[in-house]
Amino acid sequence: MSEHIVEQLAKHKIVPVIQINKAEHAVPLAKTLVENGLPVAEVTFRTDAAAEAIHLMRKAYPELCLGAGTVLNEEQIDSAKESGASFAVAPGLNPTSVLHCRSIELPMIPGVNNPSQIEQGLELGLNFLKFFPAQASGGPEMIKALLAPYRDIRLMPTGGISKDNIHRYLEIERVDCCGGSWMVPPTMIDDGDWDGLGHLIREAVALVNREA
């Protein structure tokens, strides 16, 4: 995993996990993120608009730390790379996907939630991993238990992260950032409520940057 990207994610502490249903919403959403202090995004490949949305966001805002999420196969990985994604994120750890990302020089953050998967990640030369689904897999206590024997691993918990519990994750040593979607609800994106989204994004930025 690129240290530069990890540093960018750790700097902002939150990675907005974004579902874009219409590509026309990509640029105004990118503008809203950048102007409200959160120039980072993970656009999930759960919709057909994802690749075009990433392309439009990258073109309009080259400075964005922009990832492609929920990549499940080589076709999606290639599409993410061609669209301009800086990194890819997967819900699980698929060695084929990891190796394909490496072959096209696209940094990848695969998902894990148990010791065997962490060891598989280490075997593949990975030390920055997504812990998913975070809350359902035991939350902060599970993370503390997993990190204890694996001193070289750093995590990005995602799944069930909210404004009410994010500090419980961020206070853990070697949790560099968290993925979350509460500040970018799909309904507000669909409605084009950029002012409302801007308020939620500013609120989230202020939340993670205050003293815990």
CA distance 119 to 150: 9
CA angle 41, 43, 49 (to 5 degrees): 140
Q: Which of 7, 24, 42, 52 is catalytic?
A: 42
Q: Tell me the DSSP string of 104-168.
A: TT--EE-EE-SHHHHHHHHHTT--EEEETTTTTTTHHHHHHHHHTT-TT-EEEEBSS--TTTHHH
CA distance 29 to 23: 10
Cα separation of the two ends of the chain: 28
CA distance 198 to 195: 5
Nearest residue to 70 (alpha-carbon basis) of 18, 10, 106 = 18
CA distance 207 to 77: 33
Q: Which of 3, 13, 74, 130 is catalytic?
A: 130
42 is catalytic: yes
Q: Which residues have a catalytic role annotated?
A: 42, 130
